[in-house]
Amino acid sequence: MAHPKRQHSKSRTNKRRSHNKIGEPTLAECDNCGALHRYHHICKECGYYRGRQILNVNK
């Protein structure tokens, strides 16, 4: 197996990893109440997911 002859600097390593970051989650609009929620997650405002009520949310 090949081994590097010299150690990579911290700046060079960080430059390579600059694109490996977590982006902001994609949001969808709730069909029931219109609030924004994450994809494939229950709406926190009304408790609906894909047209069905999953949670009883007291307002």
- Calculate the alpha carbon distances from 28 to 17, 39, 55 in Å: 29, 6, 18
pLDDT of 17-46, one tens digit each? Answer: 999 999 999 999 999 999 999 999 999 999
Residue 46 resides in a domain: yes
Residue 45 belongs to some domain of the structure: yes
Instruction: Write down the pTM of the prediction.
Output: 0.60
| Number of compact structural domains in the chain | 1
Q: Is the pLDDT of residue 5 over 70?
A: yes
Residue 16 inside a domain? The answer is: no
**The pLDDT of residue 57:** 85
In a domain, 6, yes or no: no
Question: Phi, psi (5° rounding) for residue 29?
Answer: -95, 135
Report CA-CA distances (Å) from 39 to 16, 26, 28, 45: 30, 7, 6, 14
The answer as to whether 22 is a domain residue is no
The domain containing residue 46 runs over which residues?
27-59
Q: What is the pLDDT at residue 2? A: 85
